[in-house]
Structure 1
């Protein structure tokens, strides 16, 4: 059985009729949908699958506000894009949600097309994020394949030091540095110093450098 790779939209709203209406809307354009009456139900579902997804969330919910739930997801490391549904009186709260990373907010009642446009935008952003995360994971795996000495060399090479200077720093011969440099560039999949510097800078936050 093949896995359904169509986009997945989560809806969290305590209004059952609105949940069902949104579910029908998203299914009508070929999206998968999962409906929840509360944030706790969404959390009980477990981890989100690898495909692109987004969360359509009511800003006023019983027990916990949508804004509080947004903060809770961020603390859990869940980077799913969020679109808020809001009443007219909740606009200031929605602006705070946007500043905290929400993709959009729609004032009820909203047009179906406005919701579909917002979800399409959120899914595109999630796809880009997942692609970037995958590329970073690949670069990290390449870095982790380097020997301890090669890691020392890459750290010095990317600061702009010449082979002779690196040799002096490490107490080895210049030819040894050249060999390590060649090996590490091959492992990292780069041909130029500029490429190596760009990759190493991208990895710094992940490596804690």
Structure 2
């Protein structure tokens, strides 16, 4: 499925021009007349997408837009267009969180490259988040004892050490460890540690 671009443009003529260009390049589009309009219906679960917004006053509009998007829980990349050619405004927009900032008129090729990059980043971020959600769900499948074994193994404890800490046998630990790997769909300890790190479970590891 092609990427989706949310076009925020108050000038209907400019909006139609951008919409036509993007559709001709294979994108799906949704148009909004203002930032208030898109913020009232924050896009969600529509696949890889980005927001293309024309801002009148980058210094004030862009920080406010990102503040409101963040509060609404949106993680869509945002590309800003502006009629102002002030370099300082562009820098502020990027610091505020903009994926890219262009002064109008912008070359079609440049805009398409930026949109491709933004959508690719959003697609990758969505895939990573989906994998993390799946890993969190699989983690819930572990029994209390399996979770204890998991927590010790990811901190580098050997089977013998895990057995000592838990007051059980090394053979039992091996059996629990096998179940942990099976339930988490992981094939090696290195992968197990990597998974734990991605889930933020190593922040409280022993020094």
Q: Does TM, scored on the shorter chain, surpass 0.5?
A: yes
Aligned to 1:29: 25
Q: 1:181 aligns with which of 177, 182, 193?
A: 177
> Unpaired segments of 5 or more residues in structure 2?
none
Aligned to 2:6: 10
CA distance in 2, matches of 1:142, 1:37: 43
Alpha-carbon spacing, 1:134–1:207, altered in 2? closer, same or farther (3 Å) = farther
Superposition TM-score, scaled by structure 2 size: 0.89
**Alpha-carbon deviation of 1:105?**
0.9
Structure 1 outlier segments of 4+, above 6 Å: 205-209
Alignment length (residue pairs): 204
> Unpaired segments of 5 or more residues in structure 1?
none
SS in structure 1 at match of 2:64: helix
SS in structure 2 at match of 1:78: coil
Given that 1:59 and 1:67 are in contact with CA atoms closer than 8 Å, whether structure 2 keeps it comes out as no
Deviations 1:159-201 (A, max 9, x none): 1111121122222222221111111011112222111111111
Q: 1:82 aligns with which of 58, 78, 85?
A: 78
Deviations 1:59-117 (A, max 9, x none): 326xx713211121122221101101123344323212212332111111111221111
Q: 1:141 aligns with which of 137, 143, 146?
A: 137
CA distance in 1, matches of 2:181, 2:189: 9
CA distance in 2, matches of 1:150, 1:122: 40
Aligned to 1:101: 97
CA distance in 1, matches of 2:52, 2:95: 17
Alpha-carbon spacing, 1:175–1:151, altered in 2? closer, same or farther (3 Å) = same
CA distance in 1, matches of 2:145, 2:69: 40
SS in structure 2 at match of 1:84: strand
Asked if 1:157 corresponds to 2:157, the answer is no
SS in structure 1 at match of 2:20: helix
Deviations 1:20-73 (A, max 9, x none): 111111111121111111112112234423311110012326xx7132111211
Given that 2:82 and 2:104 are in contact with CA atoms closer than 8 Å, whether structure 1 keeps it comes out as yes
How large is the RMSD of aligned CA atoms in angstroms? 2.3
Deviations 1:125-174 (A, max 9, x none): 11111111111122112111111211111111111111121122222222
Superposition TM-score, scaled by structure 1 size: 0.88
Alpha-carbon spacing, 1:198–1:120, altered in 2? closer, same or farther (3 Å) = same
Given that 2:6 and 2:51 are in contact with CA atoms closer than 8 Å, whether structure 1 keeps it comes out as yes
